[in-house]
Homo-oligomer: A and B are copies of this chain.
Amino acid sequence: MVTITDIAKACGVSRATVSKALNGAPDIKAETVERIRECAKEMGYHPNAAARALKMGRSYNLGVLFSEPTGVGLTHEYFSRIFESIKAEAERLGYDITFISQNLGTMTMDYLEHTRYRSCDGVVIASADFHDPAVVRLGESDIPTVTLDYIFDSRTAILSDNIQGMEKLVRYVYEKGHRRIAFIHGELTSVTQKRLASFKKTCAALGIQVPPEYIREAAYHDPRSSALQTRALLELPNRPTCIFYPDDFSYIGGMNELERQGLQIPRQMSTVGYDGIHLSQVLRPKLTTYKQGAERMGAEAAKQLIEEIEHPDTWLPQQITVEGLLLEGGTVAEPG
């Protein structure tokens, strides 16, 4: 590896001078800077991140926390899209990414300790059990953090517009003429609660009665439970004309069940998903759904985190809501 010492020798200056020249210190002659820079380039010099981290207490390394109790993890397109955009934005700003976990090899450490171990300058908490003490500890530490879809007090949070998204979907199907709308939702997380509340509120605002048996709990990303709840809805004496699913992927279960019962989508049953994953737009008919702004959420998370890291003095915690986009699709028709 070529170090500043090598360059110092090659240029006949001291290591200090090299360091200064490379970092744009104001007290080196422009000519010298030029010479050293050129030499460094020629010799293929690149700084050593470890040495720099040790000396400066700054690693230019961001921790990312994706701890998924369910185990879907990055297999879920929503999260992989978020991750990809965190990564892209971080790289654009000169930061690498390290995954934060617990129990590295024989060492047992919690998330905060792992973060310290790798000298991460900050952590994006992208998906986690926010009641896990280890997660709370990280969120309450002095390490800059940004959370996604959850708010820690005095921390920046990036939020998907679940309330508005659901409202738009409900209003869309309302305008198509639907009055009997059912909602199969996922496990009761804080995100689910927002969507559920927005669903109910919007229905109320529109003067729609939602019988309690129209609200059913399934699970995210699990077509089987959605199929089951679809069947239950179809057995009701007063069937809905439109069914909302927890997300696009679990909609597949509903879709299969409807087909199995010989019901055409959307002629005999309208359907709505959530997420706007790639799959939803290659199905026929395309699924009517709400595409969350995952790319912007990830990019914003990285950007805000780095902002806090680099300008802690002028920084203020923010809650940034990222809008999504209603994808009209073709699974909602006027009820027969």
Contacts and interface: CB of A to CB of B under 8 A. Distances in A.
B260 A46 contact: no
A294 to B, nearest CB: 10
A16 B84 CA distance: 43
Contact of A1 (B103, B116, B279): B116
Interface in A93-128: 93-99, 101, 103-107, 109, 113, 116-119
Interface residues of A, number: 56
Nearest to A250: B282
Nearest to A54: B50
B278 A44 contact: no
Contact of A101 (B50, B91, B249): B91
Contacts of A107: 46, 94
B252 A117 contact: no
A91 B66 CA distance: 14
Nearest to A94: B105
A105 B93 contact: yes
Contacts of A96: 98-99, 104, 118
Interface in A207-235: 223-224
A50 B1 CA distance: 17
B77 A75 contact: yes
A284 interface: yes
Given A1-B116, A50-B50, A282-B223, A84 B75 contact: yes
Nearest to A41: B108
Contacts of A98: 61, 96-98
A92 interface: yes
Nearest to A92: B105
Given A75-B278, A94-B106, A252-B279, 18 more contacts: A46-B107, A46-B116, A46-B117, A47-B117, A49-B117, A49-B118, A50-B51, A50-B59, A51-B54, A54-B54, A61-B98, A74-B83, A87-B99, A94-B105, A96-B99, A224-B282, A252-B282, A256-B283
5 contacts: A47-B117, A74-B80, A74-B83, A249-B282, A252-B283
A-B interface, 6 closest residue pairs, ranked by CB to CB distance from nearest:
A94-B105, A50-B53, A256-B284, A223-B282, A74-B80, A50-B50
Interface of A: 1, 44, 46-51, 53-54, 59-61, 73-75, 77, 80-81, 83-84, 87, 91-99, 101, 103-107, 109, 113, 116-119, 223-224, 249, 252-253, 256, 259-260, 278-279, 282-284
